Amino acid sequence: MIKRVTIGFLGCGNVGSGVWRLLENFAGDIAHRAGLTFYVKKVLVRSLDKKRDIEFPPDVLTIEPEDVLEDPEIEMVVEFLGGEEPAYTHMLHALKNGKTVITANKVAFALHWHELQKAAKKSGAGLYYEAAVCAAIPIIHSLEESLQANRISKVLGIINGTTNYILSRMSRENADYETALKDAQRLGLAEPDPSSDVEGLDAAYKLSILASIAFHGRVPFEDVFVEGITKVTAEDIRCGEELGYTLKLLAIAKRDGLNVETRVHPTFIASDHPLANVNGSFNAVYLFGHACKEMMLLGRGAGDLPTASAIVGDLERAATTTKHRYPTFANELNPKIALKNIKDWKCPFYIRMLASDKPGVLRTIASAFADAGVSIAAVQQKGVQKDGRVTLVIITHTASEKAIRKALDEIPFDTAALVSMIRVEQENPVNESDELETL
Amino acid sequence: MIKRVTIGFLGCGNVGSGVWRLLENFAGDIAHRAGLTFYVKKVLVRSLDKKRDIEFPPDVLTIEPEDVLEDPEIEMVVEFLGGEEPAYTHMLHALKNGKTVITANKVAFALHWHELQKAAKKSGAGLYYEAAVCAAIPIIHSLEESLQANRISKVLGIINGTTNYILSRMSRENADYETALKDAQRLGLAEPDPSSDVEGLDAAYKLSILASIAFHGRVPFEDVFVEGITKVTAEDIRCGEELGYTLKLLAIAKRDGLNVETRVHPTFIASDHPLANVNGSFNAVYLFGHACKEMMLLGRGAGDLPTASAIVGDLERAATTTKHRYPTFANELNPKIALKNIKDWKCPFYIRMLASDKPGVLRTIASAFADAGVSIAAVQQKGVQKDGRVTLVIITHTASEKAIRKALDEIPFDTAALVSMIRVEQENPVNESDELETL
Q: What is the pLDDT of residue B436?
A: 34
E strands present in A385-434: 389-396, 399-400, 416-425
Q: Which of residues A251 and A335 earns the better pLDDT score?
A: A251
> What's the CA gap between A210 and A139, in Å, rounded?
8
Confidence band of A331 (pLDDT split at 50, 70, 90): low
User: Would the CB atoms of B17 and A438 count as touching at under 8 Å?
Assistant: yes
Residue A419 confidence (pLDDT) above 90: yes
A262, A136 Cβ separation under 8 angstroms: no
> Pick from B92, B78, B74: which is nearest to B18 by CA?
B78
Pairing label, strands B340-341, B346-347:
unpaired
What is the mean pLDDT of the segment spanning A245-266? 96
Residue B368 confidence (pLDDT) above 90: yes
Judge whether B431 is closer than 8 Å to chain A, CB to CB: no
User: Would the CB atoms of B325 and A30 count as touching at under 8 Å?
Assistant: no
Q: What is the pLDDT of residue B104?
A: 95
**Residues of A with CB below 8 A from B155's CB?**
none
Residue B413 confidence (pLDDT) above 60: yes
Q: What is the pLDDT of residues A151-163, one digit of tens each?
A: 999 999 999 999 9
Residue A434 confidence (pLDDT) above 60: no
Q: What is the pLDDT of residues A27-74, one digit of tens each?
A: 988 888 888 999 999 999 999 988 888 999 999 999 999 999 999 999
**Please, what is the angle between helix A27-34 and helix A14-25, to 10°?**
60
Q: What is the pLDDT of residue A337?
A: 63
Which listed residue (B42, B99, B106, B206) is catalytic? B206
Q: Does the annotation mark B402 as catalytic?
A: no
User: Would the CB atoms of B30 and A149 count as touching at under 8 Å?
Assistant: yes
DSSP class of B222: G
Q: What is the pLDDT of residues B43-72, one digit of tens each?
A: 999 999 888 889 999 999 999 999 999 999
Residue B428 confidence (pLDDT) above 80: no
What is the mean pLDDT of the segment spanning B369-374? 96
Residue B438 confidence (pLDDT) above 60: no
Rounded percentage of chain B residues whose pLDDT exceeds 70: 96
User: CATH number of the domain at B3-132, out of 3.40.50.720, 3.90.1170.20, 3.40.50.300, 1.10.3720.10?
Assistant: 3.40.50.720
Judge whether A301 is closer than 8 Å to chain B, CB to CB: no
Q: What is the pLDDT of residue A344?
A: 87
Rounded percentage of chain A residues whose pLDDT exceeds 70: 96
Omega cis (within 30) before B86: yes
Binding-face residues of A in 92-131 toward B, CB within 8 A: 130
Q: How far is A150 from chain B (nearest CA, A)?
A: 7
* End-to-end Cα separation, chain A, in angstroms: 46
A316, A34 Cβ separation under 8 angstroms: yes
Judge whether A173 is closer than 8 Å to chain B, CB to CB: no
Lowest mean pLDDT segment, chosen from A31-40, B169-178, B289-298: A31-40
Q: What is the pLDDT of residues B10-48, one digit of tens each?
A: 999 999 999 999 999 999 888 888 889 999 999 999 999
> What's the CA gap between A401 and A346, in Å, rounded?
7
Determine the residue among A23, A24, A145, A168 to mutate to test chain B binding: the one whose Cβ has the most chain B Cβ atoms within 10 Å: A145
Domain A140-300 falls under CATH 3.30.1330.10: no
The domain spans of chain B are 3-132, 146-301, 346-425
Pairing label, strands B389-396, B376-384:
antiparallel
Q: What is the mean pLDDT of chain A?
A: 92
Count the helices and strands in chain B (H runs, E runs). 15, 19
User: Would the CB atoms of A300 and B292 count as touching at under 8 Å?
Assistant: yes
Pairing label, strands A225-226, A259-270:
parallel
Q: What is the pLDDT of residue A374?
A: 97
Judge whether A136 is closer than 8 Å to chain B, CB to CB: yes
Confidence band of A438 (pLDDT split at 50, 70, 90): very low
Q: What is the pLDDT of residue A436?
A: 34
- Say if pTM beats, i.e. exceeds, 0.90: yes
What is the mean pLDDT of the segment spanning A355-367? 91
Pairing label, strands B349-356, B416-425:
antiparallel
* End-to-end Cα separation, chain B, in angstroms: 45
Lowest mean pLDDT segment, chosen from A297-311, A399-413, B318-332: B318-332
User: Would the CB atoms of B22 and A291 count as touching at under 8 Å?
Assistant: yes
Judge whether B323 is closer than 8 Å to chain A, CB to CB: yes
User: CATH number of the domain at B146-301, out of 3.40.440.10, 2.60.40.10, 3.50.50.60, 3.30.360.10?
Assistant: 3.30.360.10
What is the mean pLDDT of the segment spanning A259-281? 95
E strands present in A228-345: 245-256, 259-270, 282-289, 293-300, 340-341
ipTM above 0.90? yes
A244, A171 Cβ separation under 8 angstroms: no
Omega cis (within 30) before A86: yes
Q: Which of residues A323 and B429 earns the better pLDDT score?
A: A323
Confidence band of B334 (pLDDT split at 50, 70, 90): low
User: Would the CB atoms of B26 and A148 count as touching at under 8 Å?
Assistant: yes
Q: What is the pLDDT of residues B123-165, one digit of tens each?
A: 999 999 999 999 999 999 999 999 999 999 999 999 999 999 9
**Which CA distances in Å does A231 have to A176, A237, A249, A353, A419?**
10, 12, 12, 15, 11
**Residues of B with CB below 8 A from A282's CB?**
294
Confidence band of A335 (pLDDT split at 50, 70, 90): low
Class of domain A346-425: alpha beta
Q: What is the pLDDT of residue A431?
A: 46
